[in-house]
Amino acid sequence: MGLLMKSVLQQTTNHLTIANDELLQPSSPPAHILNHCFMTRATNVFAKLCEDCKKCIEHSSSIHSTPSLDNFNSQIMFIDNDKRTSVDIALKHTNFTASCSFISAENEFKKNYSSNDLTKYQVKTKISCIPPQIQQPLLLKKQGVSGESLETSMQQNMNNTPIVKYDKDYSSKQLIKGAIMDNDFLKNIDASQVKELVDSMYSLTINEGQFVIREGDVGAHLYVSAEGEFEVEKNGKILGIMGPGKAFGELAILYNCTRTASIRVLSNARVWVLDRRVFQQIMMRTGMQRIENSVNFLKSVPLLKNLSEELLTKIADVLEVEFYSSGTYIIRQGASGDTFFLISQGMVKVTQKVSGTLEEKEIRILRSGDYFGEKALINEDKRTASIIALEPGVECLTLDRDSFKHLIGDLSELKQKNYGDENRALAMRYAERTKEICKANAKQEFPNLKLSDLEIITTLGIGGFGRVELVKACQQDRVDIFALKCLKKRHIVDTKQEEHVFSERTIMMSCNCPFICRLYRTFRNEKYVYMLLEACMGGEIWTLLRDRGSFNENTTQFIIGCVLQAFEYLHARGIVYRDLKPENLMLNENGYVKLVDFGFAKFIGSSNKTWTFCGTPEYVAPEIILNKGHDMSVDYWALGILIHELLNGTPPFTSNDPMKTYNIILKGIDMIDFPKHMSRAAIQLIKKLCRDSPVERLGYQKGGIQDIKKHKWFLGFDWDGLQNQLLIPPFLRPVTCPTDTSYFDKFSVDSYEPPDELSGWDADF
């Protein structure tokens, strides 16, 4: 019956109900039958339960009892005029009231109840409908994911610890390469990296009947089938048979996750295996080496010598690799040009025409590290010589004038100053302005406050790592109200998130911005680490979006404006946020938006990249998925996704499977069909923010965040009024008292005690 419950709950349907006289004659079935047979009346969405609630239902079903009142509120309502019966079930775990109806499935009942029960209670399958608009769609919060933060150890050992390579014959290499190129995700990896991945895979023999991977288990390997047959099974159903040359388990090389299907060997088989850590090491090492080489090339160009490290890194990102076979005219004398070339491998010949003849005279030979065509970056260049590739061909890094100007502007400025000073000065002025605002709002850091001084009032929210409690501290003649974030230490250690938690603490303690939630201090004990936070009593943007379905443009502009103020503050300090979504936006009692939850935030400086996979699947940028290294530009990608979700109620890239979501993202924003109600300006802004190439994203170019603020979608928006919090917000969230939780969902008391964790990693909390 647990299977029936799961399958019924996850269907998408209009509200369905059984006629009252059919269900209740000649006498009512026992409560356990009624409570096992209901269906949500959600429209156009999948009605899903959290894992805890699923387990509760399955456990209740297995012992033939009603779901525990500790987890559900159930109330039967009779609608006299239609003679129908429905039931509202409030899941306390999520506090979302799902209006449900009885629905019978005779075949499933026969597995659990006798034919006498079916006859006695006349369980039938006839159903009739009630209009679906009564029920709101059921929305569940999106969950972030993260890989282990391995960068520090990898960077230290990158040059000292070689990657082990395993011998393979030519046919094995071709089989693995073919499997990679046939995989929707893996085929996006650069060819040079694919070669290293192939070399690093090792062989594993598996006997008949054994599982390569098992659904629900945690995995850390990618596999390519080499010999034998493999059976694919999901939720107890056989999905198909797989032969040699197929890649599977690819999600596990991105981050720690559970397997979504089982692969069982039907006959003695062999697979090629790639460890997650090796994959990450290859991607990180090759990516860092590429950037370092490109930056060093750029530093050798006199015209670019005044550029900052930050801009050189951005230019390195936009360089395209081009190969020209021997004898190819890369540049022809007299032609117009807009491209600058850096030779990375090979040689070229420079020639000029002999006056009055068709002959060409060789001027010189250029080799690796040399460059040509630099004047094309200034204006429309008439080429004064021809450039011809020599044997065996030449590889060049190329940069076109448009891309260069978007990043740098007028090259003549470089002769007068170190570009970037102006942007840094603007950032410093902004920091001073926000500092003045924050002085008025700043609160004492409560250095003498102890954990035992805090009294829990109620729960404000729950998540995978713990809970957020509303607490009060009574000291002498004052009472202070806070939000206390309680993180389970054992869970943090098990998921290897210690570094992320410390990063969250460090960054939030250093932030003093009116658009970012304040962290006052931290505590620790044997079971939890605690963060004492500013209480934002206006509730969550996510809750408002869930209840309203979507926001209009004025409301969305206000929310995005607040986010931009927070990003401007963070990015000026070299901090990337990496987890933007409605779930992480809170309102204070004045209706202004604050950025919360800095679990994925990281200080990377102005010219560095970071390599750990983290974010929310629907919001991650392509370079995070492909492990290319990322920086602040991922926040601008996420900003475009947020605009879409606020205006439409859903992100543009979504699926019920994370890997499918990532593959949709890799196809690009241009593949998305935007709803007709969206304005042209909004669509244009989203497309400018969600460019595949980071350096093409609005906000990441020469004008920085000011380019976003000046976009026509924000035409007429009062940025000064927002910064000084003088605008009337779209959400007026008055509270009757500091402990008024009317804008929050209700949660049950948590009696669960996590195990102690005494390793000492949190000694500095």
Q: Which residues are identified as catalytic? A: 579
Burial of 691 (0-12, 13-18, 19+ CB in 10 A): buried
Under DSSP, is residue 441 helix (H, G, I), strand (E, B) or coil?
Answer: helix
Could you tell me which residues are beta bridge partners of residue 469?
A: 459, 484
Tokens 């000026």 sit at which residue?
Answer: 572
Whether 461 has a binding-site annotation, put simply, is yes
110: left (phi over 0), alpha (psi -120 to 50) or beta: alpha
Q: Who contacts 167 (Cβ-Cβ below 8 Å, separation ≥6)? A: none
DSSP state for residue 250 in the 8-state scheme = G
DSSP structure class, residue 507: H
Give the angle 112-68-61 at the CA atoms, nearest 5°. 15
What is the radius of gyration, based on Cα positions, of the chain? 30
The secondary structure element, H or E, covering residue 640 is helix 633-648
Give the orientation angle of helix 276-299 with respect to helix 191-200, to 10 degrees.
Answer: 140
Q: Is 467 annotated as a binding residue?
A: yes
Q: Is 460 annotated to bind ligand? A: yes
Tokens for 298, please give them.
């750029």
CA angle, residues 221, 224, 227, in degrees to nearest 5 = 130
Omega cis (within 30) before 131: no
Question: What residues contact 55, with CB distance under 8 A and at least 6 apart?
Answer: none
Task: Please tell me whether 485 is known to bind a ligand.
Answer: yes
Q: Which residues contact 75 (CB under 8 A, 6 or more apart)?
A: 87, 88
Rounded Cα gap, residues 59 and 299, in angstroms: 65
Q: Is the dihedral of CA 165, 168, 174, 175 positive or negative?
A: negative
Q: What is the C-alpha to C-alpha distance for residues 717 and 635, in angstroms, rounded to an integer?
A: 21
Residues 149, 499 contacting (CB under 8 angstroms): yes
Cβ neighbours for 302, distance < 8 A, ≥ 6 positions apart: none
> For residues 413 and 396, what is the distance between their CA atoms, to the nearest angstrom?
26
The encoded tokens of residue 98 equal 């799902």
The annotation status of 214 as a binding-site residue, yes or no, is no
Residue entry with tokens 């021997």: 326
Which residue, chain included where needed, has tokens 């000046």?
710
Per DSSP, the three-state class of 513 is: coil
CA separation for the pair 619, 187 (Å, rounded): 21
For residue 466, say whether it is annotated as part of any ligand binding site.
yes
Distance of CA 611 to the CA centre of its chain: 14
The conformation of residue 455, written as its DSSP 8-state character, comes to E
Quickly count helices (H) and strands (E) in the chain: 23, 38
Query: With left for phi above 0 and alpha for psi between -120 and 50, is residue 236 left, alpha or beta?
Result: left
Torsion (CA) 334, 335, 336, 341 in degrees, nearest 10: -100
SS3 category, 482: strand
Phi, psi at residue 505, to the nearest 5°?
-60, -50
Evaluate whether 658 touches 145 at the Cβ level (below 8 Å): yes
Q: Give the C-alpha separation, 174 to 200, whole Å.
A: 14
Q: Which of 290, 276, 386, 409 has the alpha carbon at shortest distance from 332?
A: 386
Q: Is the dihedral of CA 486, 489, 492, 498 positive or negative?
A: positive
* Ordered alpha helix ranges (H), 382-524: 401-407, 421-441, 489-494, 498-510
Helices within 485-552 (DSSP H only): 489-494, 498-510, 541-548
Which residues make up each annotated binding site for ATP? Answer: 460-468, 485
